Amino acid sequence: MRLVSSGGLRHIAFIMDGNGRWAERRGLPRRFGHSHGASKFKEIVRYCGDIGIRYVTVYAFSTENWSRPEAEVDTIMGLLSDYLDDCEKTAEKDSLRMRFIGDLSRFDDGFRSRVKSLEARTSGYRNSLTVALNYGGRDEIVRACRELSESGREITEDSLGDALDTSGIPDPDLIVRTAGEMRLSNFLMWQSAYSELYFTDTLWPDMTPAEVDRAVADFFSRGRRFGGVKNIKDRSDG
């Protein structure tokens, strides 16, 4: 696949769905699906960087996911903690600007301070990976409105965009959801206003670079007009 970032595709966001079904279809406990999903996530993020995607965002844990059985929540939290360990070891080699969005107040001080220091340590890298944790699009908008109202600022599209967790990150050009469901499930509700959506039946642990290529090719076949009449190929970084 050619490098794509110059063609108007800077940001891909992934809804990594289907881990549980992948395991269940193999007669395995769901945790195996999540651990395969976590490995797949690393491979796909690397591939996106290789083909020139500058921004990647993943939906790792939603505000609703706490309602899963405690053992499953613990598995996912364990994988996230392992991932943080890896990032701390390989941040310079990976050369990725790490960001974490979502309401991190639900996590303990130790976890939050690790996240903050990783964000600070990687803030100079050009390519960026954003991990959504305890994230809900509606919750994010409510927190942003509350922040604006407490600081007495006027609510406009710009000020609200700045108050969101994703401030400074361009809106996703393409949102890819695996495992067959065709909905956004409270992911990037504000930011997805003009995103192209790509749905595949592939379960997340079976995701491949070839499937990313298909999503990218599909993206480039669409006419993006942003409410206007012309196909707008590229927009500035803002």
CA 111 – CA 82 distance, rounded (Å) = 12
Residue 26 amino acid letter? R
Q: Which among 131, 68, 134 has a CA at the least distance from the CA of 99?
A: 131
- Which single residue is written with the structure tokens 């995607």? 53
Binding of ligand FPP by 75 (CB under 6 A) = no
Q: How far is the CB of 42 from ligand FPP (least distance, A)?
A: 8
Is 17 a catalytic site residue? Answer: yes
Binding of ligand FPP by 94 (CB under 6 A) = no
DSSP string, 87-109: HHHHHHHHT-EEEEES-GGGS-H
Is 109 a catalytic site residue? Answer: no
Binding of ligand FPP by 96 (CB under 6 A) = no
Which candidate in 65, 162, 206, 218 is catalytic?
Answer: 65
Which candidate in 17, 94, 139, 171 is catalytic?
Answer: 17
Segment contacting ligand FPP by CB under 6 A, of 10-18, 107-115, 134-142, 218-226: 10-18
Binding of ligand FPP by 111 (CB under 6 A) = no
- 10 Å Cβ neighbour count for 147? 15
Segment contacting ligand FPP by CB under 6 A, of 36-44, 114-122, 167-175, 206-214: 36-44
Please identify which residue in 20, 102, 137, 172 interacts with ligand FPP, judged by CB under 6 A.
20
Q: Which among 21, 37, 23 has a CA at the least distance from the CA of 201?
A: 21
Which residue, 161 or 209, has its beta carbon nearer to ligand FPP? 209
Query: Rounded to the nearest 5°, which phi and psi values hold at 163?
Result: -85, -10
Residues annotated as part of the active site: 17, 65
